[in-house]
Structure 1
Amino acid sequence: MDLRHLQAIVEIVRHNSFTRAAEALHVTQPTISKMIKNLENELRIEIFARDGKRVKLTDAGEAIVRHAGPILQSFDNLVTEINDLTYLNKGSIRIGLPPMAGSSFFPPVIKSFQERYPGISIRMVEDGARRIEEGIADGSLDVGVVLLPVDETAFESFPIVEDRLKVILHPSHPLAERSRIELAELEGEPFILFNNDFALHERIVRECRAIGFEPRIACESSQWDFIGELAAAGLGVAMLPETICRAIPPSKARTVPLVNPIIPWQLVLAWKRDGYISLAAREWIRFTRDVFASSFSSSASSST
């Protein structure tokens, strides 16, 4: 027994006719009669009582019809849901966003995406890039924004933001009026950093060690705006991307380019190279790639 048999029986009962049921199913009358006969032989029962031209169900036939309705309805619901997913009328995406990327770059992207696909729900997880990378790897996130470099054998990605770090200092700091600051000049200064969940923490510590000193960490936070406020209050020096530094008023703090070395802040949207990617997540990747590709093109045009 399969769905075709159930559909045939239900149509025969609905139309009270083998011929009309065959027309409804776009098959010939002998074909539908043969289907019913084969099923009766398979189950060793009679489904329809032969009573001249009348269509009458046997007890076994009534039992089949009673169960056929919910089965066929469930199948129709399944087909509808698959079609919805295929045409992106519904679905869900789990996206990991670091605080700086989420607040600075993604609100308009998410708004545009949901206007185009209102049936797709977005669950955002705000965390450090390191934790987001772990979430993508273990499957708890579909996609996420992480900091370069990433393991290209494990993840696929495309660029979103290319930026560099600047030093944030209190206006009265001796280095506040400099046009640029070398990292070595910050030896001995109290550092205000992101906590260990953020890839930028390890990046700054590693660069300090590479030039010969261990940074003196005075405070750690998971919030970029709080880090900026602490530096503006004179509790230490902080390093944040230039894009973020633009939001800090010069009256509260000075932001000075960091050089020797320049520490890049390059964000990518990443997803697991191997494994299932839902249709909704695939469309988010395509949509986001197009948005940021346009942004990069606009930036390149304005700089030439």
Structure 2
Amino acid sequence: MDIRHLTYFIEVTRFESFTRAAEHLYVTQPTISKMIKNLETELGVELFDRSRKQLVLTDAGRAIYDKAKTIVKASENLQTELDDLIGLQKGHIRIGLPPILDAELFIGILGEFHQLHPRITFELIENGTKKIEEDILNEHLDAGIAVLPPQEEEFDTFSFIKEELKAVLPASHPLAGRKRIDLEELKDDDFITFNRDFALYERIHDACLSAGFVPKTISETSQWDFIGKMITSGLGISILPYSVANLLKEDLRLVKIRNPSLEWNVGLIWRKNHYLSYATREWLRFTQERLIENSS
């Protein structure tokens, strides 16, 4: 059933005339008569009592008229919704963020995007990389910021942060005055780390194993500021991205690590070969463009 059949039927009913309805719709009277006849044939009922001088709906026609108005109105609303989505007049984007991210740059870009598309809304959800990846795969998030490379091959990525991981030591630590240390020199220290939802946990754990020891983890958390406070309290040491370690306000020492050196690569991730809303696609395009501009 073509939506036009219902539209023509509604207009003929409203004007009680094929001729006047045809004039209103800018079609010929034979065209609209043929459309109504086709609709009657498809439905298997007569819609109008044609035995009278005035065009009158049959009982079947009255039943169909109410439904037809609902269907046509829903179709019009759907088209409006689609026009709004395609024109970026509305939309909702769910983004996963790691709490270890210095979000100033990202939030600034988000603000610029909002100025251009004020009716698109955002849901920002803090979690570690593993949970962000899982939520994107399960369609609970549209995109996210995560440590690269992702665990799965089902993601497209765009890297925008690459920096060293530093040993973060209390000022009283025997190695605090050094410019660089071998990772193996931390084998006797107690480690304070992000919890296992964070890719950083595995990165550090695997690096320690390659250096010949299993790190003695005494505390795991999802909050970078807790790590700083615990280090200052003498509970242990940590290994953090330089930008995150720099946010700590405590009197701490950042020392370069070698053998092996550790890097942190962070980027946007989204589902590969998977449907993305118009709003999400435009946000990803806009964000990558701004990140490239800020890095040049």
1:274: which partner in 2? Answer: 273
Q: Is the 8 A contact 2:97 2:144 kept in 1?
A: yes
State the shift of 1:266 in Å.
0.5
Q: Is the 8 A contact 2:148 2:159 kept in 1?
A: no
Alpha-carbon spacing, 1:254–1:68, altered in 2? closer, same or farther (3 Å): same
State the shift of 1:152 in Å.
7.0
1:286: which partner in 2? Answer: 285
2:84: which partner in 1? Answer: 84
Task: Note if 1:60 corresponds to 2:77.
Answer: no
2:189: which partner in 1? Answer: 189
- Cα shift readout 1:50-81 (whole Å, capped 9, x = no counterpart): 36764333333322222221121111111111
Task: Note if 1:150 corresponds to 2:150.
Answer: yes
Q: Is the 8 A contact 1:194 1:201 kept in 2?
A: yes
- Cα shift readout 1:197-247 (whole Å, capped 9, x = no counterpart): 111111111111101111121211111111122112222111111112222
Q: Is the 8 A contact 1:169 1:234 kept in 2?
A: no
Alpha-carbon spacing, 1:142–1:136, altered in 2? closer, same or farther (3 Å): same
Q: Is the 8 A contact 1:22 1:29 kept in 2?
A: yes
1:86-235 correspondence runs (5 A): 86-101=86-101, 103-150=103-150, 153-235=153-235
- Cα shift readout 1:15-46 (whole Å, capped 9, x = no counterpart): 34323322333321110111122333444443
Q: Is the 8 A contact 1:168 1:232 kept in 2?
A: no
TM-score by length of 1: 0.89
Count how many residue pairs are aligned between Structure 1 and Structure 2.
296
| TM-align CA RMSD | 2.2
Secondary structure of the corresponding residue to residue 46 of structure 1: coil
Letter in 1 for 2:2: D
Alpha-carbon spacing, 1:208–1:198, altered in 2? closer, same or farther (3 Å): same
Alpha-carbon spacing, 1:44–1:255, altered in 2? closer, same or farther (3 Å): closer
Q: Is the 8 A contact 1:11 1:21 kept in 2?
A: yes
Q: Which moved more, 1:216-225 or 1:49-58?
A: 49-58
Tell me, which stretches of 5 or more residues in structure 1 are unaligned? 298-304
Secondary structure of the corresponding residue to residue 101 of structure 1: coil
1:33: which partner in 2? Answer: 33
Q: Is the 8 A contact 2:160 2:291 kept in 1?
A: yes
Alpha-carbon spacing, 1:162–1:31, altered in 2? closer, same or farther (3 Å): same
Tell me, which stretches of 5 or more residues in structure 2 are unaligned? none
Letter in 2 for 1:266: N
State the shift of 1:119 in Å.
2.4
- Cα shift readout 1:146-197 (whole Å, capped 9, x = no counterpart): 2122257321111121111112111122222222222122120111111111
State the shift of 1:105 in Å.
4.1
1:301: which partner in 2? Answer: none
Percentage of identical aligned residues: 46
